[in-house]
Amino acid sequence: MDSKTRGGNYFEDFSVGQEIRHATPRTVTEGDVAVYQGLFGPRFALHSASTFARSLGFERTPVDSVLAFHMVFGRTVPDVSLNAIANLGYAGGRFGKPVFAGDTLSVTTRVTGLKQNRNGKTGVVYVHSEGINQHDETVMVFDRWVMVPKRDVDAPAPDTVVPDLEDAVPADDLVVPWSSPKDYDCTAAGSEFLWDDYRVGERVDHVDGITVEESDHMTACRLFQNTARVHFNQHVERDGRFGRRIVYGGYLISVARSLSFNGLANAQTMVAINAGTHSAPTFAGDTVYAWSEILDKLTLAGHPGVGALRVRTVATKDRPCHDFPYKMTDGKYEPEVVLDFDYTVLMPRRESEA
């Protein structure tokens, strides 16, 4: 009897240049926004208050850019990373048209590289994904690479192709969806510190911690429709590498972004993902902390009231960040570091200096 079920792709199922149109389109709802708020508690004013959103030029409140990323990412999982051992990194992420409740997102992916690992049992698959709304407008593009097992270890290795990936998204490519009003309300936003008050090399301990609950990370995966087995199936994972389900790496991105409010409250919008590494697994019961470093300050042509900050946010588990843990002398990550995320945010500038 022919099987009508799908078991996901393995390394030898991918080919460079392959185009994948993903099921299932996803209409983002106000309910999704509320669940996301309940899971992660982000406090950025732009995504919390319609009055604040209107002060920045929006007719209504846009969806948090990280939630939009998850919705796009989730479409790709059944075809790209259902069987993945690990999601290894990100690059070249660009946020385009803002997403609003009621928008329907669809995603396509192109395979851009393949590299079989030395053990002959796994390989790395490089992909470029694009999410569009119902008007065929791009809302998000990004590159990522995942480690995927082979179905047949004797299958011949493909030619190695590793794509050139950007170190960072340049300022000219950033989409600036809002403008800073003359009467920008720092009190409502939660901080007096604007773009001008940060310096390159500055580090900020975000102080607070959030403990991951089993129900929370499972709800997040269902919300984003991320079906990767390592996050869902305890029956299988109890015999796996760790004996339990791994928390979805994107969950850590949302937690770290929410924690960053305490110190970066005026970073209203994420506009680029430059790089990202999930350096160690996270499990339910771990408490996540975060700190950020300002990597660069970017001026934006045609937007005198808005500046961009390139930020590295490092998240840890069960270790506060007042000592800014990162890498050891041998270049390896400190064992408690679970996320190293390099991204770009928009922040108002002081009118007198704009």
Q: What is the pLDDT of residues 186-215, one digit of tens each?
A: 999 999 999 999 999 999 999 999 999 999
Which of residues 206 and 85 earns the better pLDDT score? 206
- Residue 8, in any domain of the structure: no
Tell me what pLDDT residue 241 has: 85
- Residue 162, in any domain of the structure: yes
Does the structure show a pLDDT above 90 at 1?
no
Tell me what pLDDT residue 90 has: 95
- Residue 240, in any domain of the structure: yes
CATH of the domain at 176: 3.10.129.10
Section 313-330 average pLDDT: 97
Section 293-315 average pLDDT: 97
Least confident of 132-136, 226-230, 276-280, 334-338: 226-230
- Residue 200, in any domain of the structure: yes
According to the 3-state scheme, what is the secondary structure of the chain? CCCCCCCCCCHHHCCCCCEEECCCCEECCHHHHHHHHHHHCCCCHHHCCHHHHHHCCCCCCCCCHHHHHHHHHHHHHHHHCCCCCEEEEEEEEEECCCCCCCCEEEEEEEEEEEEECCCCCEEEEEEEEEEECCCCCEEEEEEEEEEEECCCCCCCCCCCECCCCCCCCCHHHCCCCCCCCCCCCHHHHCCCCCHHHCCCCCEEECCCCEECCHHHHHHHHHHHCCCCHHHHCHHHHCCCCCCCCCCCHHHHHHHHHHHCHHHHCCCCEEEEEEEEECCCCCCCCCEEEEEEEEEEEEECCCCCCEEEEEEEEEEEECCCCCCCCCECCCCCECCCEEEEEEEEEEEECCHHHC
- Residue 1, in any domain of the structure: no
Tell me what pLDDT residue 351 has: 61
Least confident of 49-53, 86-90, 147-151: 86-90
- Residue 5, in any domain of the structure: no
- Residue 310, in any domain of the structure: yes
Instruction: Give me the chain's average pLDDT, please.
Output: 95
- Residue 168, in any domain of the structure: yes
Tell me what pLDDT residue 182 has: 87
- Could you report the per-residue pLDDT of 211-229, keeping only the tens digit for each? 999 999 999 999 999 988 8
**What is the number of structural domains in the chain?**
1
Does the structure show a pLDDT above 50 at 102?
yes
Domain, as residue range, for 77 = 13-353
Section 98-113 average pLDDT: 98
Does the structure show a pLDDT above 50 at 299?
yes
Tell me what pLDDT residue 229 has: 82
